[in-house]
Amino acid sequence: MPARAAKRKKVAQSTPAISADHDKHTNFTHWAINHGVEINGVKPANIPDRGVGLLTTKSVKEGDRVLFIPERAMFKPDTALLRREALDHASPQAQLAVSAMLKFGAKDSSLKLWQDVWPSRETFEESMPMCWPASTQDFLPPPVQQPLACQLADYRNDWSAASKVCAQHGFSEREFKYHWMIVNSRSFHWKPPRGKGGSMVMCPFIDYMNHGPSGGGCNVSQSPKGYEVVADRDYDPEEEVLATYGAHSNDKLLVHYGFICSSTNGTPSPDDQIRLDQLIIPTLGADIRSQLQDVGYLGGYALSPATNAICFKTEVAVRAKLLTSNEWEYFISNGEDLSVDKSPEVKRFLITLFAEHRKQVMETLVKLNGVEEYRGSAAHTTLFFRWTQILEGLEAFMNT
């Protein structure tokens, strides 16, 4: 999923708005308007290499409200159903997923027009690492493994809670998993006015919006009556409007949404990080690890490709190996070295680590290309892209 440039170019006029899918998106637009959704100057459209997103239909000025979703149009957990099915203590995600599965999945559901514009189950299964076979997951970069393991643990807990209800209503685990992923990637937290309890909800039409890195994209906020989307700048007709899902690295975007932000005009996403824990922590002795743990600096090491700089925690960890105790403590307290700047030594140490890791990355890329059954698949494309980003980030640091 490409990052947004400071001024996004118009989508080519020759690009069809929706082509064969026109009717379902038009029908859903009418459904949304009938449920109180305000749509001002935007429409769903096929965006090359990005799937469906929102394009402007006219000139939009900074500060214009392009979308408003009232509370009555939101899809919320069915509290009565959840109590009846003894799921009132399940996780919020499981509650919303079960509610969506039963309501949207009903044969006479009035929500079918909304469901018709969701990504297909097959799309999720191809793009989401949690759906990949173990042999494919093994190719994921190490920093992706831990959040993926946490996600899978959450899913298994939610399936354990919901499996009996699914069986009673004739839904398979595959169908529950699809709705669980829909909720995971398309939900919002709604906090009603007047002190009522909040919940996870789904908001029609906002869920068309593709992701842009932090510092850009329309402003999405909650008002007492609903969610609104306000233009962050002036837009010409046929420009894509984006929303920021969060300041997420590409590793997190891959795990939770199944896509990766590419560079824009050669500049990586400002939110992306190349995590370094697996490189740095093994070089630290037990005493140094204990010291770092005591001051809250054990782990969380990262290189930012956008700035070609390491984070402060990495500076602290490497200096723990290179400096005396007094010098190290001074750096932690003041953010600078006591006498002579040790940054060149820190960089030399990291370049040695990065050079070895670079070999491993290149070996992984060769192995990926050598697995014939993966070639051309969504998983192969994503994995190759991410490992290439890591390689480029390491080389950029090493060469400056």
Q: Express each pLDDT in 128-148 by its tens digit.
A: 999 999 999 999 999 999 999
Average pLDDT rounded to a whole number, residues 74-102: 95
- Give me the sign of the Cα torsion angle 306, 309, 311, 314: positive
- Bridge partners of 264, per DSSP, are 267
- DSSP class of 230: E
215, pLDDT greater than 70: yes
Which token pair is 231?
Answer: 């233009």
First-to-last CA distance in the chain?
Answer: 28
pLDDT at position 197: 75
Identity of the amino acid at 310: I
SS3 category, 94: helix
Residue 3 has pLDDT above 50, yes or no: no
Compute CA 301 distance to the chain's CA centroid, rounded to the nearest angstrom: 20
Beta-bridge partner residues of 54: 44, 241
Is 349's pLDDT higher than 70? yes
pLDDT-derived band at 109 (thresholds 50, 70, 90) equals: confident
Average pLDDT over residues 322-330: 95
Q: Please give the pLDDT value at position 8.
A: 38
Q: How far apart are CA 54 and CA 69, in angstroms?
A: 15
Q: What pLDDT is attached to residue 11?
A: 40
- 301-317 per-position pLDDT tens digit: 999 999 999 999 999 99
Instruction: Identify the pLDDT of residue 35.
Output: 96
Q: What is the pLDDT of residues 369-400, one digit of tens each?
A: 888 777 778 999 999 999 999 999 999 999 98
Lowest-confidence segment of 105-109, 136-140, 207-211, 234-238 by average pLDDT: 105-109
| Average pLDDT estimate for 344-355 | 97
What's the confidence (pLDDT) of residue 105? 85
Model pTM above 0.85: yes
CB–CB of 144/129 below 8 Å?
yes
At residue 319, the pLDDT reads: 97
pLDDT by residue (tens digit) across 191-211? 887 767 788 999 999 999 999
- On the question of pLDDT at 227 being above 50, the answer is yes
Helix (H) or strand (E) holding 103: helix 92-104
> Would strands 309-310 and 302-304 be described as parallel, antiparallel, or unpaired?
antiparallel
d(CA 373, CA 366): 14
pLDDT, position 241? 96
Sketch out the chain's domains with CATH numbers. 19-73+203-257 (2.170.270.10), 79-200 (no CATH), 274-398 (no CATH)
**Which of 28-42, 222-236, 240-254, 362-376 has the least mean pLDDT?**
362-376
Q: Which of 65, 74, 108 is nearest to 186 (CA)?
A: 74
> How high is the pLDDT of residue 21?
62
Residue-wise pLDDT tens digits, 38-81: 999 999 998 887 889 999 999 999 999 999 999 999 999 999 99
Q: Which helix (H) or strand (E) holds 219?
A: strand 219-223
3-state helix, strand, coil in the chain (%, to 5): 50, 15, 35
Q: Which ranges of 323-377 would DSSP assign to H, the alpha helix?
A: 325-334, 343-370
pLDDT digits (tens, 9 = 90+) for 166-177: 999 999 999 999
pLDDT, averaged across the chain:
91
pLDDT of residue 216: 83
pLDDT in tens, 7-37: 333 443 333 344 446 689 999 999 999 999 9
What is the predicted pLDDT for the residue at 267? 84
Check pLDDT > 60 for residue 5: no
